[in-house]
Amino acid sequence: MKLAFSTLGVPGTPIPEVVRLAADHGYQGVELRTHPEEEPVHPGLSPAERSQVAEEFARGGVEILGLAGYVRVAADGEDETVIAELAQLVELARDLGARHVRVFPGGGDQDLAEADAAAARRLGAAAPHAADHDVRILLETHDSHRAGVDTARVVGTVGHKHIGALWDVMHTWLAGEEPAASHAVLAPHLGYVQVKDVASADRTEPLPLGAGVLPLAACLDTLDPDSWVCWEYEKRWYPQAAELPALLAAGREHLLRLGAPKQ
């Protein structure tokens, strides 16, 4: 199992410090959040700035697992706008050497069939550009498509190897889906897994891994040994939560224990 953490847990932290945190605490990768108003990495970076970020990660021996983008592929609006936003993220990922781009469904209150169709149409249109740049766009189990079966339905409709799925284990749990069932439908499309821990369905502020109720062991039991697992600690949305850097070492050890081969 290869481990990463998301910069959602260390919002606004300069890239050299992010790389140092990963290297010092034994994480092989980082998921970079790309909100242009809050984060040091976003589609507005110049070519020189992109090169500087890529060189910083290469120098530290840390991989950029993916870019956590905020495009909503099933949302109301013009296809051309969404497809252009996807292209910008794909190009940024290519320039940084990131293998994945995360997107949300964002179907809102639309009829589910209409949301599915919009998401599949836009992802299908973006797929050739992603393939040309050797980047995979991952639709996260989230909001209107939080169950694995919902996300897998859209990705399966597209049917392109550069369109995949990101399994956020909290959202499939909130949807009432068992980990084995989530994995069964997502496995053919899976890019990587986001883990976290919370106190309950009504209290989703981030907790140290193992301190909450999410079925992390059952989720990790379904994965291949070489799978990527990313800790998404949502400090950005819960400023009162404990600081992530002090939790990284214990979090890594907890995940490695859970993911160790069973005797």
Per-residue pLDDT of the chain (263 residues; tens, 9 = 90+): 999 999 999 999 999 999 999 999 999 999 999 988 788 999 999 999 999 999 999 999 999 999 999 999 999 999 999 999 999 999 999 999 999 999 999 999 899 999 999 999 999 999 999 999 999 999 999 999 999 999 999 999 999 999 999 999 999 999 999 999 999 999 999 999 999 999 999 999 999 999 999 999 999 999 999 999 999 999 999 999 999 999 999 999 999 999 877 65
Domain that holds residue 213: 2-259
Domain count, the chain: 1
Continuous segment of H or E residues that includes residue 181:
helix 179-186
Handedness of CA 86, 4, 218, 240 (dihedral sign): negative
Task: Tell me which residue has tokens 């069939």.
Answer: 113
Give the single-character DSSP code of 201: S
d(C-alpha 136, C-alpha 157), whole Å: 16
d(CA 32, CA 71): 15
Q: Which residue, 171, 204, 71, 177, is CA-closest to 125?
A: 71
- Residue 263 has a pLDDT of 55
CATH code for the domain of 21: 3.20.20.150
State residue 62's pLDDT score. 98
pLDDT at residue 122, as a whole number: 98
Query: Who's near 125: CB < 8 A, 6+ residues apart?
Result: 79, 83
Instruction: Look at the pTM and tell me if it is higher than 0.95.
Output: yes
Check residue 37 and give its pLDDT. Answer: 79
Q: For position 194, what pLDDT does the model report?
A: 98
pLDDT of res. 239: 92
How far does the chain reach from its first CA to its final CA, in angstroms? 17
Residue 66: which of 189, 193, 205 has the closest Cα? 193
- The pLDDT of residue 203: 96
The total of other beta-carbon atoms located within 10 Å of residue 39's CB is: 18
CA-to-CA separations, 104 to 65, 162, 245, in angstroms, rounded: 17, 16, 27
